[in-house]
A and B are shown apart, each in its own frame.
Chain A
Amino acid sequence: MSSRTLYDKLWAQHLVTSRDDGSALIYIDRHLLHEVTSPQAFEGLRLAGRKPWRRDANLATPDHNVPTTLKERSAGNAGILDSVSRIQVETLDANCESFDIEEFRINDERQGIVHVVGPEQGATLPGMTVVCGDSHTATHGAFAALSHGIGTSEVEHVLATQCLIAQKMKNMQVRVEGKLGLGVTAKDIVLAVIGRIGTAGGTGYAIEFAGSAIRELSMEGRMTICNMAIEAGARVGLVAVDDNTIEYLRGRPYAPSVEQWPAAVEAWRNLVSDEGAHFDKVVELDAAEIEPQVTWGTSPEMVVNVSATVPDPAGASDETVERGMKRALEYMGLEAGQKITDIQLDKVFIGSCTNSRIEDLREAAKVARGRKVADNIQLAMVVPGSGLVKRLAEAEGLDKIFIEAGFEWREPGCSMCLAMNADKLGAGERCASTSNRNFEGRQGYGGRTHLVSPAMAAAAAIEGHFVDVRDYDYAPAATMSA
């Protein structure tokens, strides 16, 4: 057989039927659900008198609307003060109950952001197709699973048929070779990639991240990178299977049993692109040249090195881009030429499905240890990605480090990544955020978001403005998982 990419293999392994016109039916192994994009799908099933095709393929958890403050949270759903939000979470509970779908409810310790929960449970496995009514489903591609976001009509389609109508994507490889500098992280890699190819650069492609710098990353780091493939326009981000992937999964609750394990590992070892496989597009980056990244505008592609200045729209490639840059500067309240490290902040958010895993919290805690949040920072919050991440972080004493430094230590959920719950920016407030989108109003009406890595966010909280974390006296974690 001719050489195939990882994506080609995953596609072929799930192809049920294909039509002459290029559209195909692909089989879905894992379907994750949350409260925001599922109610209309369940309602559709109910109206049509349909049932889920395969109940054990589904796993649900509420994450977007849940409060992150302990007082509210300990009251369970009743602690969701906004009644519209509460109804949405209650609707998920009721739907999961009536359709017999496994759900980690609001105060189940396994609850969390759906893209943290899936891998953590081993519910995301190599060789699977994973979908969710959420664009950051790309995250799960870190496990060589063909994973992408879908809309609510497709959620209903997957529930009813266990399949998705899809079209094969093109193949892109992003190769990152070499060694990352100390204090430079997976987040900086992916922001640099988006800065290079733009937010539409990956449209129509499945991106495989490869190269020695990717191989060196822990699974957490790979998830951070695949998570933001969608910010480059690609629905799918992938990383090939290696020992890191396999070791991460061993013993997780949903992972193959001890008896099945050897056969599973043997199958997973094949989930790599063949030597000489054809990619429609290849992008190469030198890891050693990547600096800590900071976004300055209202699109993730509006990103620069921390040592740089805010760019001048006059240098834009065309008029549409120039107008977009001007509007972004105005919205962000910034001037061209301003130094990134001179930007003063009001709030800091460490969390989201991009950066709320244990490694992210460890990195941030290293910076925060023994220091104090600056006076001009009104709120610095750390929101773990799941109840299990929270418990592990507390066992390591990270919560104490954050609290002593003046950060708030919260309960798991999406929180200020999109501000559907009570955690939000006020108009004009400026935030260093480890999330994935800096769109207008994303973190609150009129709020201004700068996307950075966890270490950069923590350092910004301590100094009150952006700083180059490489100049900081701290000990970044080794990039390999222990």
Chain B
Amino acid sequence: MKKFERLDGLVAPLDRANVDTDLIIPKQFLKSIKRTGFGPNLFDELRYLDEGYPGQDTSSRPLNPDFVLNQSRYQGAQVLLARRNFGCGSSREHAPWALDDFGFRVVIAPSFADIFYNNSFKNGILLITLDEATVERLFQETEASEGYRLDIDLDAQTITTPSGDVIAFDADPFRKHCLLEGLDDIGLTLEQSGAIRDFESRHRAAQPWLFRDA
């Protein structure tokens, strides 16, 4: 997977709670059999005024001027600031694929839905959970000053604001390690093939009905 070490990135605020994965990438785009190309349809129903369909040239579609990612000051944003329970609903990994394809490398929110959380890490996207008050403060600062950037250091587990304030964040040690090294977790798991085979034969002996090829 893609490595993540450090990023100094422009921040875009998405001021809305319970953003579900249907909203991040609507179902009509899930028909693709590829992992790439979802960026133009990220937040499709919020971003455009018309209904999108797969394979369309999005450059000629009418943009919703009120949607934050359409505003010129947030072009090129790599850090998405969001509200609680971000990524709830469907397990579609197309949601992090779309965020990644659009250019986001980090999402900061007070909480994330579980499946989305896993899916994002598998794609080298760093999710940072901060308390509501800190997130609120970042929203205010982002909206107040154009060009607001955050310097995010995964190894040190810190976010540095433009004024030099340092905010610490928690990171799961295994995921942090994988992100920093860009590790392929299937390869890692296969290193434990022996342990898996041992488990499997014990499991088969105890509950043979779980195996249909006996």
Q: Who on chain B is nearest to A201 by CB?
A: B85
B113 near A153 with CB under 8 A, answer: no
A36 touches B30 (CB 8 A): yes
Task: Establish whether residues B30 and A420, one from each chain, have CB atoms under 8 Å apart when the complex forms.
Answer: yes
A357 within 8 A of B: no
Residue of B55, B89, B91 with most chain A CB atoms under a 10 A cut-off: B91
A148, A151, A156: the one contacting B119 at CB < 8 Å is A151
Which stretch in B19-27, B62-70, B98-106 binds the other chain?
B19-27
Residues of A within 8 A of B113 (CB): 200, 203, 233
Known: A16-B196, A151-B91, A151-B118. A233 touches B85 (CB 8 A): yes
Interface contact A157-B186, CB-CB below 8 Å:
yes
A152 within 8 A of B: yes
Q: How far is the CB of A234 from chain B (nearest CB, A)?
A: 8
B115 touches A235 (CB 8 A): yes
* Cβ proximity bits B113-127 to A, threshold 8 Å, 1 near / 0 not: 111001100110000
CB distance from B38 to the nearest CB of A (A): 11
Q: Contacts of B16 on A, CB cut-off 8 Å?
A: 323-324, 327
**Contact between chains at A85 and B33 (CB < 8 Å):** no
Residues of B contacting A412 in the complex (Cβ-Cβ under 8 angstroms): none
Which residue of the partner chain, among A53, A156, A200, contacts B84 with CB atoms under 8 Å? Answer: A200
Q: By the criterion of a CB under 8 Å from any partner CB, how many residues of chain B are at the interface?
A: 61
Residues 423-453 of chain A, each 1 if its beta carbon lies under 8 Å from chain B, else 0: 0000100000000010111100110000000
Question: What residues on B are CB-neighbors of A19 within 8 Å?
Answer: 174
- Once the chains are docked, how many angstroms separate the CA of A100 from the CA of B211? 16
Q: With A128-B210, A200-B111, A260-B209 in contact, is A27–B122 under 8 Å at CB?
A: no
Q: From residue 50 to 97 of chain B, which have CB atoms closer than 8 A to chain A? A: 51, 54-55, 83-85, 88-93, 96
Whether B93 contacts A37 by the Cβ 8 Å rule is yes
Q: Contact between B31 and A440 (Cβ–Cβ < 8 Å)?
A: no
Known: A17-B192, A200-B18, A441-B45. A153 touches B88 (CB 8 A): no
Chain B contacts for A91, CB-based, 8 A: 33
- CB of A56 within 8 A of CB of B51, answer no
Query: Are B55 and A84 closer than 8 Å at their CB atoms?
Result: yes
Q: A264 at interface (Cβ–Cβ under 8 A)? A: yes
Among A21, A165, A264, contact of B189 (Cβ-Cβ < 8 Å): A165
Q: Check A161 against B189 for contact (C-beta < 8 Å).
A: yes
Closest to B117 in A: A203
A298 to chain B, nearest CB (A): 9
- Residue picked from A37, A150, A165, A419, most chain B C-beta under 10 Å: A165
How many positions in chain A have a CB within 8 Å of any CB in the partner chain? 81
Question: B165 contacts which chain A residues (CB < 8 A)?
Answer: none
Is the beta-carbon distance between B88 and A418 smaller than 8 angstroms? no
Closest chain-A Cβ to B68's Cβ sits at a distance in Å of 14
Known: A40-B34, A235-B115. A23 touches B18 (CB 8 A): no
The answer, yes or no, to whether B164 is at the interface (CB within 8 Å) is: no
Q: Is A415 an interface residue (CB 8 A)?
A: no
Identify which of residues 167-219 in chain A touch chain B, using a CB-to-CB cut-off of 8 Å.
167, 199-200, 203-204
- Which one of B3-11, B149-157, B200-208 is at the interface? B200-208
B31 touches A204 (CB 8 A): no
Residue among A21, A149, A152 with the most chain B CB within 10 A? Answer: A152
- A-contacting residues, B131-186, CB 8 Å: 172-175, 185-186
Q: How far is the CB of A138 from chain B (nearest CB, A)?
A: 10
Known: A150-B115, A150-B118. A163 touches B196 (CB 8 A): yes
Q: What is the CB-to-nearest-CB distance from A226 to chain B, in angstroms, rounded to a whole number?
A: 15
Please indicate the chain A residues that have their CB under 8 angstroms from the CB of B173 in the complex.
21-22
B92 — which chain A residues lie within 8 A by C-beta?
Answer: 36-37, 151
Q: Which residues of B contact A (CB under 8 A)?
A: 15-18, 20, 22-23, 26-28, 30-35, 45, 51, 54-55, 83-85, 88-93, 96, 111, 113-115, 118-119, 122-123, 172-175, 185-186, 189-190, 192-193, 195-196, 199-200, 203, 206-213
9 smallest beta-carbon distances between A and B, as pairs: A256-B209, A151-B119, A153-B122, A39-B33, A151-B93, A21-B173, A149-B91, A200-B85, A135-B91
What are 30 A-B pairs at a CB distance below 8 A? A16-B195, A22-B172, A22-B174, A37-B92, A40-B33, A43-B35, A56-B212, A84-B31, A84-B32, A84-B55, A87-B31, A134-B90, A134-B91, A135-B89, A135-B115, A151-B91, A151-B96, A153-B93, A160-B190, A161-B189, A162-B196, A162-B200, A200-B111, A203-B85, A299-B20, A320-B17, A420-B31, A437-B89, A441-B23, A445-B26
Interface residues of A (CB under 8 A from B): 16-17, 19, 21-23, 25, 27, 29, 36-37, 39-40, 43, 48, 50, 53-56, 64-65, 82, 84-85, 87-88, 91, 125, 127-128, 133-135, 148-154, 156-157, 160-163, 165, 167, 199-200, 203-204, 230, 233, 235, 254-257, 260, 263-264, 267, 299, 320-321, 323-324, 327, 418-420, 427, 437, 439-442, 445-446
